[in-house]
Amino acid sequence: MLSAAQKDAFNRDGYLIINDVIDTALLDRIKAEYAARMNDIYTAWFGAGRVSAPPETLDFWQQLAAARAAGLEWYQPRDISLPHADITDDTPFHFGPSVFDLLTNTRVLDIAESVIGSELTSNPIQHVRIKPPQAEVDPDEVRAHIVATAWHQDRGVGLAEADETEILTVWIAMTDATSENGCLRVIPTPPDRMLPHCPKAQTAIADAFVEEDRAIDADHNQSNPLNL
């Protein structure tokens, strides 16, 4: 549970960074689950002649890089939710037992409950974000889970029916999130209202309302350690 000081900081700043919430054993199980998922998909691609390097010669990251280089759909089979459109009977996604254990982790739920109360519901908009270096992303790629995400307020894409609902975004880093490798960025002390949003690559705050000069990196090395 959060301390009174942490709650005050969250209510004041609009974000909170908490280190080491997820234990190493669960992180290791999640990484192993994704490596197995990647290997199964990559092995099928190798059997079909769509990639050239044998799967047993590559680790997870090398298989991922090879799939990207071959122009294969490497992201959606690993996402934990279906896409927002163009869903068919065979659209892939991954929600394995270790991912379920992450979403139902008691330490994560206790933190969320201390902010918005009990009777929690997980919104199916959650995603895995496996982001390659921006310079290596296909220019035609627009998915926010792969490219840089435009400035936004999450409630900006909510329906009017959700306006009275307390909503908390929980962002969990699977690897160290630092300024050097492109961590989440936030603008502290947000306004207590919705800013105007408009269509960009994603629905985003209109440029005139973005105070990017106040943005900070949600670096896990900060002294005020939303990174769980």
Classify residue 199: in a domain, yes or no: yes
181 domain residue, yes or no: yes
Q: Are 110 and 168 in contact (CB under 8 A)?
A: no
- Would residue 223 count as lying in a domain? no
pLDDT computed for residue 119 by the predictor: 87
Domain-embedded: residue 101: yes
Within a domain: 225? no
Q: What is the reported pTM?
A: 0.85
Residue found by looking up tokens 């998922």 in the block: 37
Q: Which of 141, 149, 143, 196 is nearest to 169 (CA)?
A: 149
Domain extent, residue 154, equals 4-217
Dihedral in degrees, nearest 10, Cα atoms 196, 198, 202, 204: -20
Residue 62 lies in a domain: yes
Determine contact, residues 18/227, Cβ cutoff 8 Å. Answer: yes
pLDDT mean for each 10 residues of the chain (228 residues): 91 90 94 96 98 97 94 92 89 94 94 91 84 86 86 85 86 87 88 88 91 89 48
pLDDT tens for residues 42-72? Answer: 999 999 999 999 999 999 999 999 999 999 9
Residue 177 lies in a domain: yes
What's the rounded Cα separation, in Å, for the pair 206 and 183? Answer: 22
Encoding tokens for residue 130?
């496996």
Structure tokens at 192: 């207590």
| DSSP symbol at 81 | S
Domain count, the chain: 1
Is 228 a member of any domain?
no
